[in-house]
A and B are shown apart, each in its own frame.
Chain A
Amino acid sequence: MMEMESSKTMSGGMTLQNNNGMQGVAVRLSKVTRSFGDVRALSDLDLEASPGEFVVMLGPSGCGKTTALRALAGLEQIDSGAVYIGGKDVTRLPASKRSIGMVFQSYSLFPNMTASANVEFGLKVRGVSGAERRRRAYEMLEMVGLSEQANRYPHQMSGGQQQRVALARALAIKPEVLLLDEPLSALDAKVRANLREQIKQLQREVGITTFFVTHDQEEALSLADRIAVMSNGNLEQFDTPTQVYSSPLTDFVANFVGTVNVFIGTVLDDQIAVVPNVGNFPYVRGSGTPGFGSEAEILVRPEAITVRGDHDGDYLVSDVTFLGSNVRTRVEKGGVTFTVVQGSADVDIVTPGSRVSLDAKGTAILVRPKR
Chain B
Amino acid sequence: MASIIGAPAKSSGVEGGSNVLRIGKIFRVVVLGVVGLYFIVPVISSARFSFTGSSKGISLSAYSKLFSDPQFWTTLFLSVKIGIGTVILSLVVIIPTTVWVHWKAPKIRRVMEALSLLPLVIPSVVITLGVITSFGSLPNIIMGTPVILALEYVVLALPYTYRTLDSAVQALDIKTLVEAGQSLGASLRKILWWVLLPNLRSGVLGVVVLAFAFCLGEFAVASLLSFTTFAVYLVQIGQTQASEAIAFSLIALVFTWIPLSIVTVVFSRRAGKRYRRGGGVLVASQSITELTELAE
- Interface residues of A, Cβ cutoff 8 Å to B: 73-75, 94-97, 100-102, 104, 106, 108-112, 114, 121-122, 124-126, 151-153, 155-156, 166, 169-170, 173, 179
Contacts and interface: CB of A to CB of B under 8 A. Distances in A.
Contact of A75 (B182, B195, B280): B182
A181 to B, nearest CB: 10
Contacts of A75: 179, 182-183
Contact of A110 (B185, B195, B279): B195
Contacts of B279: 151-152, 156
A122 B177 contact: no
A257 B31 CA distance: 61
B176 interface: yes
Contacts of B190: 125
Given A110-B180, A122-B184, 5 more contacts: A96-B184, A111-B199, A151-B277, A170-B183, A173-B185
Interface string B273-288: 0110111100000000
B40 to A, nearest CB: 36
B198 interface: yes
Contact of B177 (A110, A114, A179): A110
B173 A108 contact: yes
Contacts of A166: 180
B186 A125 contact: yes
Interface string B160-186: 000000000000110011011111111
Interface of B: 172-173, 176-177, 179-187, 190, 194-195, 198-199, 274-275, 277-280
Contacts of B184: 96, 101, 121-122, 125, 169-170, 173
A169 B275 CA distance: 21
Contacts of B179: 73, 75, 95, 102, 104, 108
10 contacts: A94-B182, A96-B183, A96-B184, A102-B180, A109-B180, A112-B274, A121-B184, A122-B185, A122-B186, A170-B183
Given A102-B180, A152-B278, A112 B199 contact: yes
Nearest to A97: B185
Contacts of B194: 110, 121, 124
B173 A102 contact: no
A153 B176 CA distance: 17
Question: Which of B172, B185, B195, B277 lies at the interface centre, i.e. has the most chain A CB atoms within 10 A of its CB?
Answer: B185
B110 to A, nearest CB: 20
Contacts of A101: 183-184
A170 B194 CA distance: 17
Contacts of A110: 177, 180-181, 194-195, 199
Given A112-B195, A112-B274, A153 B183 contact: no
B194 to A, nearest CB: 7
Contacts of A104: 176, 179-180
Contacts of A95: 179, 182-183
Given A110-B180, A155-B280, A96 B195 contact: no
Nearest to A122: B184
Nearest to A70: B179
Contacts of B185: 96-97, 122, 125-126, 173
A110 B179 CA distance: 11
Nearest to B197: A112
A316 to B, nearest CB: 34
A156 B198 CA distance: 18
Contacts of B183: 73, 75, 95-96, 100-102, 170, 179
Contacts of A151: 277-279
B177 A108 contact: yes
Contacts of A111: 172, 199
A106 B278 contact: no
A336 B182 CA distance: 51
Interface centre among A108, A114, A122 (most CB of B within 10 A): A108
A68 to B, nearest CB: 15
A96 B177 contact: no
Given A108-B177, A111-B199, A156 B182 contact: no
